[in-house]
Structure 1
Amino acid sequence: MNKVIEFLQKVGTFYLATADDDQPRVRPFGAVVEYNNKIYIATNNTKDCFKQMQQNSKVEISATKGAEWIRLSGTVAVDSSEAAKTAMLEANPALKNMYSVTDGLFEVLYFTKGTATFYSFKGQPETIEI
């Protein structure tokens, strides 16, 4: 799992895909943290992406850096704990300009299960179960 977090942090911006009924929706994300041995992302509960993840918890993340890229597919769930939100804010200080642990907007979600596949023009794909 550390390899997944390290790669996403290294690329800075990654793209999260959700489903809006039968239409895929993709948007840039940048906040990620490993907490309790799980991969966490963050958003605002007034955004469409949060509502879409509530309706259909299957998501996919894609990111690229040079000749390497990752596809992370799985399901997510909300963690409303203050500890998880604090961990996200500490790992991503820029979020503190927008959110606080108790603002009623800030949400963190974690992958309950999933598969991360690393690709490269230099070799064979490597798959990790998370």
Structure 2
Amino acid sequence: MKHITDLLARIFLSLIFFWEAFDSIKYFKTTKVSMTEYGIIWRQDLLLGGAIFFMIFGAVLILTGYRSKLGAILLLMFYIPSTFILYSFWNDPEELYRINSIQFMKNLAIIGGLMMVAVNGAGKYSIKRIFATTRLPKRYL
């Protein structure tokens, strides 16, 4: 049961990053406007393109289980700073304080899940393990 839970957790973790990357691509100009509102004006195309790459590449690594620790670290490099920039509820007015604090805590939970993948790896059901345990018959060698 633990191995199936590991697989499901990796699937759910990767889905949020695939969705966020798709959203950033679809609304590229709107995302750049949002970056300007948060004071991020230095090379927005480079930063946004890099963030999209980190999200897609990291999510693929976590989903497949191949180098999932690297994928988790890439996503942590993106997600920790963006969480503190986007949801700094301690600086928000009263009407935004509650919703941003909830979003901040949800992002901390996702960060915790990524840390668990970074420490524990992919588990039994991963592409890396399938390649390691699969042997070709001698007639194909």
TM-score normalized by structure 2? 0.23
TM-score normalized by structure 1? 0.24
Q: Which has a greater percent of strand? A: 1
Choose 1 or 2 for highest CA Rg.
Answer: 2
Q: Which has a greater percent of helix? A: 2
Greater RCO structure (CA 8 Å; 6+ sep): 2
